[in-house]
Chains A and B, each alone.
Chain A
Amino acid sequence: MGDMLVSIWSILANFGMDTGDIANKIGSIIAVDEKGDYTGTLAPLAEVPLVGSIILLFADIGNSAGQSGPTTIA
Chain B
Amino acid sequence: MDKKNKNKLDSQSKHLIIGVFAVLVLLTFSAVMLIAAFSFSEASKNPDMSVVDTQQDVSYQVQASTTAPSYTVGDTVTHSTLNNAVTNNNDSDNTEAPHIEKNDSAESTTQKVETISVEGLEEFTKTGDNYISDSPDNEFIELVVAEKGVDAEYLVAIYAVADLGNNFVLEFDDKRDESGKVIRSPKTLKRIYHINKEKQITTATGKPTGNDGVDYGTSIMTYYLVTEVVMPEYPDYFTEVG
Contacts and interface: CB of A to CB of B under 8 A. Distances in A.
Contacts of A39: none
Contacts of B143: none
Given A70-B62, A73-B82, A4 B204 contact: yes
A41 to B, nearest CB: 7
Contacts of A4: 192, 194, 202, 204, 214, 218-219, 222
Contacts of B130: 11, 14-15
B224 A42 contact: yes
Given A65-B69, A70-B62, A6 B122 contact: yes
A29 B196 contact: no
Nearest to A14: B130
Given A10-B166, A11-B158, A26-B224, A61 B121 contact: no
B64 A19 contact: no
B1 interface: no
A37 interface: no
Contacts of B166: 7-8, 10-11, 14
Interface of A: 1-26, 28-29, 41-42, 45, 48-55, 57, 60-62, 64-65, 69-74
Interface of B: 59-64, 67-73, 82, 100, 102-104, 106-107, 116, 118-122, 124-130, 158, 160, 164-168, 192, 194, 196, 202, 204, 214-215, 217-222, 224-226, 228-230, 232-233
